[in-house]
Amino acid sequence: MDQNLAINIVIVVGMVWFIGKRFAGVKGLRSLNADQLQNEIKSNRNHVLIDVRESSEVKQGYIAGAMHIPLSRLKQRLNEIPSDRSIYLYCRSGMRSKQAARVLSKNGFHELAHLQGGIMAWRGQLKK
């Protein structure tokens, strides 16, 4: 086998593995639309709502009652999140909230849900 071909195969396999790992689903993560999230927040008092966007994004507006923990700081701030509550996550589009759910799941948090479509899909009012 040609050495360049072998190197290319290794690179492609590595990229497929990386992409698959990054975008694979999180076991037990529920995806909620905006209406479902609003209803669950109202009916479930034993929850934590976490905005995982960066500070500059939060200045544009956030969902009332949300705790702000940027995805970039989540691992360092896990101790601030109660593990005995349902955790609802959101970001701008829904991608970072899935990544945050993966981090939380790996660290023993189990009741996880995220806002599908992120804050862009939110129909309720925003605080500033």
Instruction: Identify residue 90 by its one-letter amino acid code.
Output: Y
Catalytic residue (choose from 32, 50, 89, 91): 91
Helix, strand and coil content of the chain, in percent to the nearest 5, comes to 50, 15, 35
- For the question of residue 5 being annotated catalytic, the response is no
3-state secondary structure 96-125: HHHHHHHHHHHCCCCCEEEECCHHHHCCCC
| Rounded Cα distance, 69 and 46, in Å | 19
User: Reading across the β-sheet that carries 86-90, which strands appear in turn?
Assistant: 30-32, 112-115, 86-90, 47-51, 67-68
Over the stretch 29-65, which tens digit does the pLDDT of each residue have?
A: 999 999 999 999 999 889 999 999 999 999 999 999 9
Residue 68 pLDDT: 98
What domains can be seen in the chain, in order of their start residue?
Answer: 27-121 (3.40.250.10)
| Rounded Cα distance, 122 and 37, in Å | 9
- What pTM did the predictor assign? 0.82
Three-state DSSP state, 51: strand
> Of 60, 71, 75, 117, which Cα lies nearest the Cα of 94?
117
* pLDDT < 50 stretches in the chain: none
Residue 3 pLDDT: 79
